[in-house]
Structure 1
Amino acid sequence: MLVCSRMELYATVVCEVMAETAASKDYDALTSFLGDYGCFQILMMVLLSLSAVPPGYMGVLAVFVADTPGYRCRAPPLNSTLNDSGSSSSATTPGPDSCSRYRLSCNGTGVSNDTETCAHGWDYSTDVYINTIVTEWDLVCDNAWKVPMSTSLFFLGFLAGCAGNGHASDRFGRKKVFFLTTILHALTALLQAASVNWIMFAILNLLRGYSQNYSVSHILGSELLGKSSRVTFCLIGHCIGYAVGYAMLPLLAYFIRSWRMLQVASAIPSLLLLPLWWVIPESPRWLLHQGHVEEAEHVIRNAAKINKISAPDVIFNSEDCLEFKKVKGENQRKYSYMDFMHIPNLRNTVIVGFFLCVSVNIVFYGMSLNTSNLTGNIYLNCFTSAVIEIVAYVANWPLIKWFPRPTVICCTMMFSGVMLMFIQLVPEDMPVLVQVFALGGKMGVSCSFGVIFLFFTELIPTVVRNMGLGAITTVSHTGTIICPYILYLGIHFKALPFLILGLFSIVAAASSMLLPDTRNSKLPDLISQTRPIRSCCSQKESGNETTMV
């Protein structure tokens, strides 16, 4: 009886696989009449690449907003240093460090060895900034921990946003979530400019981190475009848009030296994106998997109209396309994060993604936030780092065409790790060489950062793509939360942050080789199309069978 039941179950699975293979039509094939680089595709690539500008500078805004200029103890008011006879009874001179000062002897004839805290606050250098949150609320000495804490809260919000926005966009649509987060960013940036204390600023920083919508716009663009234009968008357009946002930051900060006005300026690009609601459509792939065939056809017909080509009378035939049926099939089911634990191929891909993305994000954001600690002009260093990112993203284009995705990530992260490790060997009197190695490490990790979103977009199927990428980026940003504290260790040993970031680069290089190559592969739509990792215990046949059951 048990054998018969298993045979019937196996026969059912085989029939479903055969039916799916025979009857279902590929989305890319159904929409191939649109072409790859028509007016519609170019328009979407440009607009969604521009949408990556705000995320490009949001994560590193703290480089200027929360930078600590030179400071020293403020001298007490003159009347507080005079006794009843009019002579000096207590005064101070600069101390052994910026957090204390020497006390003058009572008779005013000399300096005692006693020190005291900076009871009257601090005087800050205005050579670089008019003000920052550090000078605004005296975030130095005993309060210095609040500076990395505010940056960590941003990444904590980013972490929560990756999970929440990913799940919401799979449930309610990519377009709605994208524009809601754009509005949230503009509002929080404007409210931060009006912060009355550090607590208010920190809470709003958490919300501003939640509004990061880089992955949502990335998914929306990937699903609107065909295979060739999708790769161009992910590797060139979207990534360069992100780097352009990063490059805009030092230019704005150079002319806007007040942190409050810089916050206001950071909200403007998001406000300019809001009218695009009437231009950017919802993902037709998502609409199909929700059973909204007519709405999906409407999007494709509008695209054909913009491209000035004729669309077929019937684009998506629900009777022939099994994966688009609302009655039965995988798109009928509402997936949850628990499914990532039960489906072997999906689970393995996500677990490897955790290790890989944690390492890449720590190194990428660590090197970006470390710009202010490099020798030289902070504005020039930041702009140079952004230009290097652009060069790295352009270099990705031929690399992805010629080599497998895992090989590209492995080689670039290994290069980054070697560059950062070499910094320990550089003598202290050669700061320029430190900058060269640091920027070389940034170039390597930027190449991997530009590829990794495309890579996991191609690995995770449509029905759970935003949830999967949301889970991976959520876990990866647990690492970015500690980035400010890794850099803070440089106070005690300058090369220590580079050593830690170099080790993470090597971990990322090793973990990337476990993943399968997706070059020249179709974008997976169904769970059963998830490819196994390179492991002896995960085979395609068994993985698919377990998935279908």
Structure 2
Amino acid sequence: MRDYEEVTSFLGQWGPFQRLMYILLSLSSIPNGYVGMAMVFLADIPPHHCRLPFLNSSSYGGPGYNLSLPTEEVKGEVTLSRCRRYAEQGALDAGSNQSTERCLDGWVYSKERYLSTIVTEWNLVCDDTWKTPFTVTVFFLGVLTGSFLSGIISDRYGRKFIFFATMAVQCIFSVIQAASNSWEMFCVFYFIVGMGQIANYCSAFILGCELLSKSPRINFATLGVSLAYAFGYSILPLFAYFIRDWRMLLLALSAPGFLYIPMWWFVPESPRWLLSQGRVEEAEAIIRAAAKKNGITPPDVIFNRDDTAELMNSTVEQKVYTWIDLLSTANIRNTTILNIIMWMTVSLTYYGLSLNTSNMDGDPYLNCLIAAASEVVGYSSMWFAVRYTTRRFTLGFSLIICGLLLLIIKYVPEELNALTITLAMAGKSCITGAFGFLYLYCTELFPTVVRNMGLGVTSMASRIGSTVSPYVAYIGTYNKVLPYILMGCITIISGILGLLLPETKDEELPELISEVKPLHWFCQKQIPVKRKIEQENKQLGIGLEKSHSLQDM
């Protein structure tokens, strides 16, 4: 059977159809950039102390509070205790020798930065402080579940269906989440939003890679969806700066999702997926419509009878694939296991560094903007790297450099805080580029029949790392260096493992599980498939055209 890229080559590389798909599917990733990271502001903990009912003032640091509350040292500064008060109420000259008790009458929060957060809404402080990082963990558990289910549903019912269904889930439940009247209700809806967020991103990524040809596909994977995601991340601090109430902020972040409804009439189903299901007529109709949009007259027969018969025979034998097929052969099993390990460690480091920005000194809005800017640098650098270097080297080099930068932080003097931030942000640029690159590399490694499922399972595994990341960042409140040491070590190990994956640069996307390549060992030199065929034909003394005719017999 002829290769799909060869069959559809008459469409060209960069016509109006390809440009439209590139732009629309890239723009769909903008909300994904701020949905998960919004918790940096939604759940930020403002300064607070116990409420004292005998004092009329309900404002933070009001008259009398400095005499009626014990003090504590936080990061070298002496402040009013956040969780304790003197047991003897009404004594404005209470001394340090008096006994203390918990805040029995609630808390008073500073409104200097926020009008409200979910912390001030439901008093997620002191004994309930654990609920704040757990809220982020709930979101990532939803992401984990969505990664697994979306892959199965997408490979069975189509890319377009799951793409728009999960976009609707993310948007609608974010609006409902803003009306939550309890922390438990907020977490339930946040879990569902997490399911929609990752499923939408993965489906858009797969759909774009399968609709676009090789050259624009690389740009789409490394620049299109990645920069759109980074743009969404960068506008988050702008929204949060002007909207200081968490409910209004959540509504404002949810509203743009409704602007994507008209995309249904412009984005088609993936012809590759339709062909893998034996739905040749529908795939041909989409390809002809794309040719018309590009102003190209398609051939009378796109898929000849022999191609169609071979495709139908292969799809009848195994029409429904499950996640077990990702372990069915040695090659795809090794590829799946290595991807799972790397996605877990890369996700832990990426989100660990992102969430750790709250432990940095300075303005949180500026810190968030700097973190978003580092992602733009990471994605842009990766775009240049994939054009001139091999896939294995690009992934391994970026991960190892990230790990080394984080380990250097251990030897930076405490007074050089600016250098620590610079190294952390440089490491974040490297891990961000690697994270975005993994989507492209994973797409090229897995065959069409289980591609979205493979991306879903590995992305699901990465959420194991992301669910741990809030607690890795939490370690930074006790030891600022330890999170960097932990993330640096596992990132270097992951980079070394990445060198074992097969090379996919300048190779056609595999269609069937049997076409998955074996691991590439350090002492082994891998020859691209096309070059290998040419060398074999040269040794046999026959032309390439004759070789293809023999293979078709």
Q: Shift in Å at residue 475 of structure 1?
A: 1.1
**What corresponds to 2:114 in structure 1?**
129
1:437 aligns with 2:413: no
Distance 1:428 1:72 in 2: 29
Residue segments in structure 2 that go unaligned for 5+ positions in a row = 58-63, 73-80, 527-553
Q: Shift in Å at residue 169 of structure 1?
A: 0.4
Q: Shift in Å at residue 113 of structure 1?
A: 2.6
Distance 1:134 1:289 in 2: 49
Distance 2:305 2:330 in 1: 29
Partner amino acid, structure 1, of 2:279: H
Answer yes or no: is the 8 Å Cα contact 1:324–1:331 preserved in 2: no
Distance 2:423 2:250 in 1: 32
1:538–1:432 Cα change, 3 Å: closer
1:139 aligns with 2:124: yes
Distance 1:78 1:481 in 2: 42
Distance 2:247 2:367 in 1: 22
**What corresponds to 1:218 in structure 2?**
205
1:106–1:376 Cα change, 3 Å: closer
Return the match for 2:390 from 390, 399, 404.
Answer: 404
Return the match for 1:32 from 2, 6, 9.
Answer: 9
TM-score, normalised by the number of residues in structure 1: 0.89
Q: After superposition, where does 1:74-113 map in structure 2 within 5 Å?
A: 74-78=51-55, 92-96=68-72, 97-104=81-88, 110-111=94-95, 112-113=97-98
Answer yes or no: is the 8 Å Cα contact 1:289–1:331 preserved in 2: no
Distance 1:469 1:501 in 2: 23
Distance 1:364 1:323 in 2: 44
Q: After superposition, where does 1:452-467 map in structure 2 within 5 Å?
A: 452-467=438-453
Aligned length: 507
Q: After superposition, where does 1:461-480 map in structure 2 within 5 Å?
A: 461-480=447-466
Return the match for 1:64 from 22, 28, 41.
Answer: 41
**What corresponds to 1:8 in structure 2?**
none
Answer yes or no: is the 8 Å Cα contact 1:330–1:527 preserved in 2: no
Answer yes or no: is the 8 Å Cα contact 1:417–1:441 preserved in 2: yes
Q: After superposition, where does 1:321-340 map in structure 2 within 5 Å?
A: 321=308, 324-325=311-312, 327-329=313-315, 332-340=318-326
Q: Shift in Å at residue 535 of structure 1?
A: 4.8
Q: Shift in Å at residue 98 of structure 1?
A: 1.2
Return the match for 1:422 from 389, 408, 411.
Answer: 408
1:379 aligns with 2:365: yes
Distance 1:256 1:401 in 2: 41
Q: Shift in Å at residue 424 of structure 1?
A: 1.9
Answer yes or no: is the 8 Å Cα contact 1:490–1:496 preserved in 2: yes
Distance 2:524 2:100 in 1: 66
Structure 1 stretch displaced more, 144-153 or 261-270: 261-270
Distance 2:398 2:524 in 1: 27
Note the alpha carbon deviations across 1:252-306, whole angstroms, 9 max, x for none: 1111111111111121222111210011000000011111111111111111111
1:395–1:536 Cα change, 3 Å: closer
**What corresponds to 1:234 in structure 2?**
221
Partner amino acid, structure 2, of 1:232: N
Partner amino acid, structure 2, of 1:258: D
Answer yes or no: is the 8 Å Cα contact 2:114–2:244 preserved in 1: yes
Q: After superposition, where does 1:14-413 map in structure 2 within 5 Å?
A: 24-78=1-55, 92-96=68-72, 97-104=81-88, 110-111=94-95, 112-212=97-197, 213-321=200-308, 324-325=311-312, 327-329=313-315, 332-413=318-399
Identity of aligned residues (%): 44
Q: Shift in Å at residue 401 of structure 1?
A: 1.6
Partner amino acid, structure 1, of 2:365: Y
Distance 1:53 1:60 in 2: 12
Distance 2:212 2:20 in 1: 11
What's the secondary structure of 1:101's corresponding residue?
A: strand
What's the secondary structure of 1:72's corresponding residue?
A: strand
Q: Shift in Å at residue 342 of structure 1?
A: 2.5
What's the secondary structure of 1:335's corresponding residue?
A: coil
Note the alpha carbon deviations across 1:353-412, whole angstroms, 9 max, x for none: 011111111111111222222111111111111122112211112211211111111111
What's the secondary structure of 1:116's corresponding residue?
A: strand
**What corresponds to 1:507 in structure 2?**
493
Distance 2:328 2:91 in 1: 79
Distance 2:8 2:281 in 1: 15
Partner amino acid, structure 2, of 1:289: S
Distance 2:417 2:48 in 1: 23
Q: CA RMSD in A?
A: 2.2
Structure 1 stretch displaced more, 113-122 or 277-286: 113-122
Distance 1:137 1:158 in 2: 24
TM-score, normalised by the number of residues in structure 2: 0.88
Q: Shift in Å at residue 78 of structure 1?
A: 4.1
Distance 2:91 2:8 in 1: 90
**What corresponds to 2:503 in structure 1?**
517
